[in-house]
Structure 1
């Protein structure tokens, strides 16, 4: 183990050569560190399939990309940087923070060079290198907004391609692995995404039908553009036009209906109850799921539904005429009732955190809970006295995440108490 406080070069560090002596060991370590235990047997089986089963499908093709000899030199340093960042995590860390910073900085230069020299076509190895550094940022943040820059970089690379190259095989797995992060970024930045275009919603799933989380994303991916339009209208005139408000209200209500249909289908196709409630080691109660895929799908469903409810509530408060004309005819209840349901959904989200933060959820669990937990936290802050206790419990979950060695740069230190 390197001496704390001293910078150690990645290639010669004693911990590196003893724990991860070869590129193959490094790659396997990263894959095993990201994929949940319940998916590893499938991942390392000899069966070949075009359709991805595991969460975060991009990691499935990482050994192949590294082993086949990549087109540029960016991927291998990025994989190494992610591996070292994992080794810096938690109380039993096997590398110092300086080791992780050095590895990350060392990976940035070849990444910049690869991006500068890239042609006008999608490069899977380059996009995967960016994803590795994005994950490294969640463990060991180098700067506040680097995760945004990395996600935007992946987005720009995908836009260089036509959606039909992501129909099957390696590129399909990369696409379905990257897509959740790109959609989440669109929501968190309240900016439109090209993924809402019809071809990008449908074509990549022509041969391989979307799994539940991908189908869920398809129902909500239109909303970031609407959020952006509302923000622009408010910034320009401090008041959105009645036409835009009516469009927004109808769209959010329509998405709520589509989400309900998604939930009905998801429940009908599940062979077991979707979740149960049990005592918690970190809070009063926690929610337990039959699998990480169900947990990922439901926490995002709750987050998207809660966000839509809050948007409907906000529009109804700001534009009472729209509320009277549109909401009543669609069976929408009062603003307090909308807030109450959003708080309840937020409670489900933070109570799910303990399940996703189990050790056998690896890196996927923490990375998948970022957006739902962020959405829940923002809603609970709005709730005032109605959600004071829930907000305290949510902060306990954030503290638990910090103690496990993960740092969400999208939460401020003051907000997260970390």
Structure 2
């Protein structure tokens, strides 16, 4: 009877419930974030609650890993002891405690105590309690336990890791310190209060992770969330008050970034840019003086100006959009001073198109009084302002790019130039000291090329070649940064027809 009572009983091991309570009871797939995607789609974000926290779920996985490692260690030590005993060799000192632990009576008592403890408390709570309790000296493990699989506990933290990668990609290095854009940092923190913002951030993060890691599963997961975010954005834009909120503005901006990464359709990026400009115009400059609105306009102003040039939107040239978002604590830098001049390019292009189409005299594109400058005078004035801006920049503030010492032979697209003296040849690439200098220099070239008046074709060809020679530096050093993406779009504006 004693033998039967001491025999270990086979009990079914209960797994901890890691899904939220609504998904667990309805047996719906949950992505283990708060609020989860299933609750966001069904409009029950406030009911998305968990029985355990994210920290508890991580501790559970670590406790399971430690148990497996301890069992493996005990098995290997037993094998070593058996082999040493069979060969009549001296047992090492570090294996001596294991001989005491291998006593059958002590092992049996230890199993009975652990079995009784599991009966007194639920499995989930006991697992969490064992995970957070301090370990005894005999059970201490290194601070970074060896992971036997690359997918260890990734099921619960994959979303958080993708979002962290998104934040790291868009952070900038200023004097050795990594600075995260304020609008992105705040959006990540408040995403739990907005299903639209949550879906948009997750979609951008998963698509970015899929591109960087060449993981089609992550990309597909991001596109699924992107579809959900588009549906929520469509419903929000139908409400006059709701569409002016910051979360909608951030989501529309993130949609454009998703299209830069993925390119789901030919006109999707253009439509998102146009929608973002419409929303920016409706919000007025007063909503961009502080907070997320100020950060998303000031940090991404280069993209807004480029979109305005592409869609011929002229409202960014008004003084309110030039002065209101900038204060004494946040003054203009070299790039913003250049963007103040470039904001007048859309008006010039609209006047050129109206003149080419023989527009009606009452059209806003045409001159209504003799004091207004002509198209040629306006184009010459813009080029003169660009030239004056370049002359005011010192070598320390805006150093000139330098050529590489050799030509790299790899799979990067080859760029060749045509010279009347030497014929066709491949020039060396241009390199810059940092991404800010690269973005400012290429912006100056691209904006100058966007003015289709007053310069010779030789001058335009040289600037266009310089932009192409800078693409390797942008793509290889900052493949997914906003500056690199802006530079790639600036190259498209070099193809504006010249009249």
TM-score for both structures, normalised by structure 2:
0.59
**Aligned twin of 2:276:** 154
For residue 252 of structure 2, what is the aligned residue in structure 1? 130
Supply the distance in 1 between the matched residues of 2:153 and 2:200 (Cα, whole angstroms): 17
Deviations 1:298-319 (A, max 9, x none): 10100111222x3336xxxxxx
Counterpart Cα distance in 2 of 1:126 and 1:40: 33
- Stretches of structure 2 that go unaligned for 5 or more consecutive residues are 1-28, 38-149, 415-426
Instruction: Supply the RMSD in Å over aligned alpha carbons.
Output: 3.5
Q: Cα distance, 1:130 vs. partner?
A: 1.1
TM-score by length of 1: 0.69
Which of 433, 448, 469 lines up with 1:290 in the alignment?
433
Q: Which runs of 5+ in 1 are unaligned?
A: 1-8, 45-58, 314-337, 383-418
Once structures 1 and 2 are overlaid, which stretch shifts more, 31-40 or 275-284?
A: 31-40
CA contact (8 A) 2:200 2:255 kept: yes
Distance 1:193 1:241 in 2: 14
Q: Is residue 2:444 matched to residue 1:301?
A: yes
Alignment correspondent of 2:458: 340
Query: CA–CA distance in 2 between the matches of 1:27 and 1:158?
Result: 25
Q: Using the TM superposition, give the Cα deviation of residue 372 of structure 1 relative to its aligned residue in structure 2, in angstroms.
A: 2.2
Number of the residue aligned with 1:214: 336
What is the rounded CA distance, in whole Å, between the counterparts of 1:186 and 1:16 in structure 2? 46
Q: Report 1 or 2 for greater relative contact order, CA contacts < 8 Å, sequence distance ≥ 6.
A: 1
Identify which of 477, 485, 494 aligns with 1:367. 485
CA contact (8 A) 1:35 1:362 kept: no
- Among 298, 317, 324, the alignment partner of 1:196 is 317
Which one has the largest radius of gyration?
A: 2
Pick closer, same or farther for the CA change 1:173–1:21 going to 2, 3 Å: same
Residues 37, 246 of structure 1: CA spacing in aligned structure 2 closer, same or farther, 3 A cutoff? closer
- Equivalent runs, 1:18-417 vs 2, <5 Å: 18=154, 21=157, 24-35=160-171, 41-43=177-179, 59-69=181-191, 72-89=194-211, 92-93=214-215, 95=217, 98-119=220-241, 122-189=244-311, 191-207=312-328, 208-236=330-358, 247-267=374-394, 270=397, 273-278=399-404, 279-281=406-408, 282=412, 283=414, 284-308=427-451, 310-312=452-454, 338-360=456-478, 362-376=480-494, 378=495
Against the structure 1 CA distance between its residues 121 and 103, is the aligned structure 2 distance closer, same or farther, given a 3 Å change threshold? closer
Preserved contact between residue 274 and residue 290 of structure 1 (Cα < 8 Å): no
| Offset at residue 339 of structure 1 (A) | 0.6
1:84 shift after superposition:
1.8
Q: Distance in 1 between matches of 2:210 and 2:162?
A: 15
Counterparts in 2 of 1:238 and 1:280: CA distance versus 1, 3 Å: farther
List per-residue Cα deviations over 1:272-324 (Å, max 9, x = no partner). 7332111342443111111100100110100111222x3336xxxxxxxxxxx
Provide the aligned length of Structure 1 versus Structure 2.
331
Between Structure 1 and Structure 2, the one with more helix by share is: 1
